[in-house]
Structure 1
Amino acid sequence: MLATALALAGCHASDAATPAQAQASAPAAGDLPVGNSGAAMPGPGTCKLGTRDGQPLPDPSCTPGAVNPAVRQETIKDTICQAGWTKTVRPPTSKTNTMNAASARSYNLEPGAKSEYDHLVSLELGGAPDDPRNLWVEPGTIPNPKDAVENKLHAAVCSGLIQLAPAQKAIAGNWVTAFDTVGLRVASGKVCLRDKSTTCVNGHRGDEDGN
């Protein structure tokens, strides 16, 4: 059952990567993989949900996150910081519906359970649009707590509070602790630097449909 899956406290290491997976992920040490729509989908039942502070986390061996190579620090003003840009890269539902069903089988989730087919590194943070390594079936209702984290990180990146790459790595590594990882705190709807409490930006909703 879904409730049982959510109760799992740890993440499970899946079987060894297939040749397709290995070929699709050759980043420098510490970097996220570059998006590849041909990356292999994990096999049925090979992925396990984890939890942190009662929130679901993807299995890092199945869903490590991946990034869009067109989105870099020097291009953010023309990409993720442009209103509506994510609509130009969002894959069609005809593709993601099929991927969603396969990903649910990978995570051994019950068909029809409430969930969002989520980009771990959101499109508004330059996540890869259609790489299986950046997509997982996030249990729960929509919107969910991760959406707010994505939007606030987007605001911090586009305002210049933090750089893009650390935000991407933080949300891919553990979205629940991402603010702490990049040195941010959130108070009264504002996102501020933890060591400079007066350096803040309003935590706006982010790019429309930017998950």
Structure 2
Amino acid sequence: LSRPFSLFESIRKPSYDSGLEKRQFQRTDCFLGISYAVKGRSFRDTLRNISKGGGYLQTARSFSVGEEISLDLPPRNHGEKVVGNVVWVGPEGIGLKFRVPDRALMQKRVSGQENQNKEFTITKKETCQMGKIKQKKLRWEPAAGEESAKYKLYWSENGTLDYTSSFAEVGAVTQVILPDDIPSFPRVAGNLELGIAAVNQAGNESDITKISAYLDFTVPEAPKSLVVEDL
């Protein structure tokens, strides 16, 4: 006889494969901004935990199970990369499984045996001091007839946006995640003018497509004096 169906069990179990049952290696909590490449396109998001076998990448981007990702290990000037595959997709990020040949390198980096990098050993207690910013996705349709076009993102805090405004060259992509993808983007709260322009191979720019949006990339002051008291 089959056991009775449990609605409670079906609700508790996530719709994606979290990989917890198959996890072989202990994870280290971290809050690490990391660059990576997918199908030749570069992005930047945040690793929230990592081990020599895999990791959890917090991202608002869309991925499919099985996609290959190449991660740049910090410090970036070492030129070391780890290749992995997406093993599950969740509402706020993806689970990664590293290829077997890369696991020895990851073990050294995570355990701090090679060029100890404090970024890899940040604990949950320390991440609480950094604050957490809710990301925003900015996307646009590619320029018609310009398959090789690159793009420039402009922004202005004073309401006037033109070619003299602050900008960042974002490359041949059609979306960015703010503020993570643009290190120079202001961490402010208020109405901002945003604009995107296409740049062709000759260096000529299109008109700027503009939008006005309220953005808040500030974090509140942390609570003070956390104590535990007897009742």
TM norm structure 1: 0.28
More helix by share: 1
Larger Rg: 2
Q: Which has the higher contact order (CA 8 A, sep 6+)?
A: 1
TM norm structure 2: 0.27
